[in-house]
Amino acid sequence: MRRKLNVLGEYVGHLVVGAGMFATLLSFGIALHLLVEWSEPLVADRGFLQLMKIVEKVILYLDAAFTIWWAMFSTYKAIEALHDE
């Protein structure tokens, strides 16, 4: 029973770290979005602004994909650790 609680603690800790990384990357994406919005009147290059909006979306989608992968990997490792018991 003690081993199972240890695995559960590691699993929850791993998910919390993943959520923290998701929040950090999301904050960066939001800051980048605000920077692009605020700089739009100052930057006359329409191509640059479109590129930055694409970069924002790539960061958001990669952040979501990374979080899903992180949760799946954590779950896999926890199940593997329980089976090794």
Q: What is the pTM of this model?
A: 0.77
pLDDT tens per residue, range 30-70: 998 898 888 888 887 888 888 988 988 998 899 999 999 99
Which of 84, 74, 68, 69 lies closest to 3 in space, CA to CA?
84
* Total of domains in the chain: 1
Question: What number of other Cβ atoms are within 10 A of residue 40's Cβ?
Answer: 13
pLDDT mean across residues, the chain: 89
- Give the residue numbers spanning the domain of 68: 2-84
Q: Read off φ and ψ for residue 39, nearest 5 degrees.
A: -90, -5
Q: What is the pLDDT of residue 73?
A: 94
Percent of all residues in the chain with a pLDDT value above 70, rounded to a whole number: 99
pLDDT tens-digit readout, 1-14: 778 888 889 999 99
What SS3 string covers the chain?
CHHHHHHHHHHHHHHHHHHHHHHHHHHHHHHHHHHHHHHCCCCCCHHHHHHHHHHHHHHHHHHHHHHHHHHHHHHHHHHHHHHHC
